[in-house]
Amino acid sequence: GSVPIFPFKKVDDIGNRSEVKEQDACLGKQLTLLEEAEGGFDQFTRSYKGYGVQRMPDNSLVFKEWAPAAEALFLTGDFNGWDNFSHPYSKKDFGKWELHIPPKEDKTPAVAHNSKLKVVVHTSAGERLYRISPWAKYVTRHEKSVIYDWVHWDPPQPYIHKHPRPQKPRSLRIYESHVGIASPEGKVASYSNFTHNVLPRIKDLGYNCIQLMAIMEHAYYASFGYQVTSFFAASSRYGTPEELKELIDVAHSLGIIVLLDVVHSHASKNTEDGLNSFDGSDSCFFHSGPRGEHSLWDSRLFNYSGWEVLRFLLSNLRWWMEEYRFDGFRFDGVTSMLYHHHGIGSGFSGDYTEYFGLHVDEDSLLYLMLANHILHTLYQDCITIAEDVSGMPTLCRPVQEGGLGFDYRLAMAIPDKWIQILKEFKDEDWNMGNIVYTMTNRRYGEKCIAYAESHDQALVGDKTLAFWLMDKDMYTNMSALIPMNSVIDRGIQLHKMIRLLTHGLGGEGYLNFMGEQLQLIQNAAAHGNNESYHYARRQFNLIDLDHLRYRQLYAFDRDMNRTEDKYGWLATPPAYISAKHEGDKVIVFERANVIFIFNFHPTNSYSNYRVAVGPPGKYKIKLDSDEIQYGGHGRLDHNTEFFTEPMEFNNLPNSILVNKLYYLLP
């Protein structure tokens, strides 16, 4: 049932927020409507148990669809010899259609597991269309075909989860992953490969959360899963639904939670194997006319005010939580949802007029509030992350306050800043204050996921940080058996420092895209690459070779995460920055009683460098990017103990002298 929504508590820096109060009232009204019409959101979001195809206890089958513009609906498939007329649906109220098929004489279901089906839609214009059910749980593509087929998935022995969900971690360390490229081989890798070969590495690296992209079925592989065609189907190109369930179950056994990269911001324009024109009309699940089209993405836009659209999308979230036991979602394309202009041609300066007004899409806003409210009410430990580049206020405040209810937002400015610095500035011209500003520019009380790079940098036409730093030298000079040249030396040292600075300063969670901690070779999708999978892979085998420096970067990434796990800085308030010295190129900050010291100067080392400290006592080195095992030069003595002096420095009561603060290269 519903939970009372409390009035918005005024936030000082936003001022009078009548719009937010109105949003809050709309949410309360929507929950009341759900209560009256559907018996509450719990029942409403279980609609996947009524729509599509359902097997009854007596093995009869019930098929149910919503196709308001259709004149007639029929079911065809392997089971009836592809007869287009033998199995008509009956028309019900509100554009719904139902078909009951009794069991066969031997009491088995009339439609066998793994057999193919199609919905035949007759339109008012006299057209006959062949469609996949929007609720299809499994779709496959024959090797030589372009179109996906609806396959009835009802295995005799469905996978049973053995392990409970892990508790929500206090610090979120996310490993963003794509199953298809998670193999050294030039092919589309499988769920089973990920389960057996990649999960142990993720556990060893100290990540406690996996964010799986490209799971919702998408006909075009090179879209990386962002042009969804079947919303309830786990992509068959990696294996079966049961194998994905096993992947998540094994992750849970390792104490790792799994988030789904969910795409509810738009849908593929495909008609024969997508949602588009399901009932022959321009609308159905989408807005008709220009409002229903995304000009930049060439895709369709949902009508979030539609009752059956809400049923479909909210049930979709519930389906992935219940059936596959995902632990939450990273919502893709939230900026596009929030505004009628979809962020196209809009530079967001942070002025509050940009976030409130007629250009805000209130239907989308309400959908996101509803989704977060329902998920967090039903699943106490559910985690939701918003991909929003605009900086919409209250995005990560509870709906009880009038916020949108996300737990975290992606700190999207941070990777952009690192790429900009590496593209545009010499090492000696790096601006410490500007870097620190970008790392810390977030609203207090709205949690951010910090990252130096994600799939956006690695896959979407740009170069990884490693490539910006080292480029072609990565192919020829990564051997640990030869002295490092200056390009590799600088690249390796900066790569570690960029990651640690982002980890410590940039947010309340940390994300890394699969393999980038190793600087593995830049990737591209097979499409647009002469159908070659040469770049669409991850060469994890390079880590296992003692003589290559990838192993050293792996070790640093692992120990950085394990150090955070011990001290928990991500779960604490933002850092106190005591130094961002432009001349020295030094950044010093304190978080979770850990002191972070960075010397970014390309040529200057410092002796007896005074560093401000809050709590008095003895300090020791716990993580040192210059260690030999991390590809460093081993210049610091880890047995040294640093004792504080009651000498006020940079507005903190105590300070210590660091005997050596080495510059980047020896």
- Quick: pLDDT tens for 44-82: 999 999 999 999 999 999 999 999 999 999 999 999 999
CATH code of the domain in which 635 resides: 2.60.40.1180
The mean-pLDDT minimum among 408-422, 468-482, 643-657 falls in 468-482
Q: List phi, psi (to 5°) of 378.
A: -80, -35
Q: What is the mean pLDDT of residues 343-348?
A: 87
For residue 489, pLDDT over 90 is answered with: yes
Bridge-partner residues for 509, per DSSP?
Answer: 172, 449
Helix 550-567 × helix 486-505 angle, to 10°: 20
Burial zone of 254 (CB within 10 Å; 0-12 exposed, 13-18 middle, 19+ buried): middle
The CA distances from residue 206 to 175, 200, 342, 555, in Å, are: 10, 10, 36, 11
Q: What is the pLDDT of residue 322?
A: 98
**What is the average pLDDT across 363-385?**
97
Residues 426-437 have pLDDT tens digits of: 999 999 999 999
Per the domain annotation, does 633 fall within a domain? yes
Identify the pLDDT of residue 17: 53
What local confidence, expressed as pLDDT, does residue 11 receive? 39
User: Which pair of tokens denotes residue 138?
Assistant: 């499994």
Structure tokens at 547: 């003589």
Structure letter (DSSP) for residue 196? I
Q: What's the DSSP call for residue 88?
A: B
Q: Nearest to residue 185, comparing CAs of 547, 525, 540?
A: 540
Kindly state the greatest CA–CA separation across the chain. Answer: 90
8-state DSSP, 150: E
- Tell me how many degrees the CA angle 310-158-96 measures, rounded to the nearest 5: 30
Measuring CA to CA, how many Å separate 64 from each of 54, 83, 281? 9, 19, 19
Q: What is the mean pLDDT of residues 165-186?
A: 93
| Centroid of chain to Cα 73 | 37
**Total number of domains in the chain:** 1
User: Mean pLDDT of all residues in the chain?
Assistant: 91
- Indicate the SS3 state at residue 403: coil
Out of 243, 308, 332, 407, the active site residue is 332
Token couple for 468: 């910006």
pLDDT digit string (tens) for 445-486? 999 999 998 887 655 556 788 888 988 898 889 998 999 999
Hey, what are 606's tokens?
């410092």
Q: Which two tokens stand for residue 202?
A: 């993720």
535-563 pLDDT tens trace: 556 667 777 777 889 899 999 999 999 99
Residue 19's pLDDT band, with cuts at 50, 70 and 90, is low
Q: Is 96 helix (H, G, I), strand (E, B) or coil?
A: strand
CB 174 within 8 A of CB 387: no
By CB neighbour count within 10 A (0-12 exposed, 13-18 middle, 19+ buried), where does 138 fall?
buried
Span 589-640, pLDDT tens digits: 999 999 999 999 999 999 999 999 999 999 999 999 999 999 999 999 999 9
The upper half-sphere exposure of residue 82, i.e. CA atoms within 13 Å in the direction of its Cβ, equals: 2
CB 328 within 8 A of CB 335: no
Give me the pLDDT at residue 454, please.
Answer: 81
How far the first Cα of the chain sits from its last, in Å, is: 64
Establish if 166 belongs to a structural domain: no
With tokens 């204050």, the residue in question is 433
For residue 523, give the nearest of 224, 209, 298, 227 by alpha carbon: 224
Q: How far apart are CA 456 and CA 460, in angstroms?
A: 5
pLDDT over threshold 70, residue 514: yes
User: What's the rounded Cα separation, in Å, for the pair 210 and 249?
Assistant: 12
Q: Cα(133)–Cα(275) distance, rounded to whole angstroms?
A: 8
Identify whether 628 is part of a domain: yes
Could you read off the pLDDT of 292-325 as tens digits, one per residue?
A: 999 999 999 999 999 999 999 999 999 999 999 9
Query: Residue 74: which of 86, 82, 66, 65 has the closest Cα?
Result: 86
Catalytic residue among 261, 279, 361, 387: 387
Is 387 a residue of the active site? yes
3 state SS of 248: helix
**471 compared with 153, residue with greater pLDDT:** 153
Q: What is the pLDDT of residue 529?
A: 45
Residue with the larger pLDDT of the pair 350 and 587: 587
Question: Smallest Cα–Cα separation from 462: which of 508, 422, 506, 405?
Answer: 422
Cα gap 11→425, rounded to integer Å = 39
Q: Is 332 a catalytic residue?
A: yes
Strand arrangement of the beta sheet that strand 586-591 belongs to? 576-581, 586-591, 594-599
Q: Average the pLDDT over 496-522 and give the result.
A: 81
Q: Is the predicted pLDDT of residue 399 greater than 60, yes or no?
A: yes
Residues 566-595: pLDDT tens digits? 999 999 999 999 999 999 999 999 999 999
- pLDDT > 70? residue 522: no
Within 8 A by CB and 6+ apart from 178, the residues are 212, 213, 214, 224, 225, 455, 514
pLDDT at 645 over 50: yes
Cβ(618)–Cβ(602) under 8 Å?
Answer: no
Buried b (16+ CB within 10 A) or exposed e, 110-121: ebeeeebbbbbb
Tokens of 306: 């539609």
Question: What would the pLDDT profile of 81-134 be if each residue is shown by its tens digit?
Answer: 999 999 999 999 999 999 999 999 999 999 999 999 999 999 999 999 999 999
For residue 515, the model assigns a pLDDT of 65
Predicted confidence at residue 351, as pLDDT, reads 86
Listed residue (199, 236, 185, 198) closest to 215, CA to CA: 236
Residue-range definition of the domain harbouring residue 617 = 575-662
pLDDT higher than 50, residue 34? yes
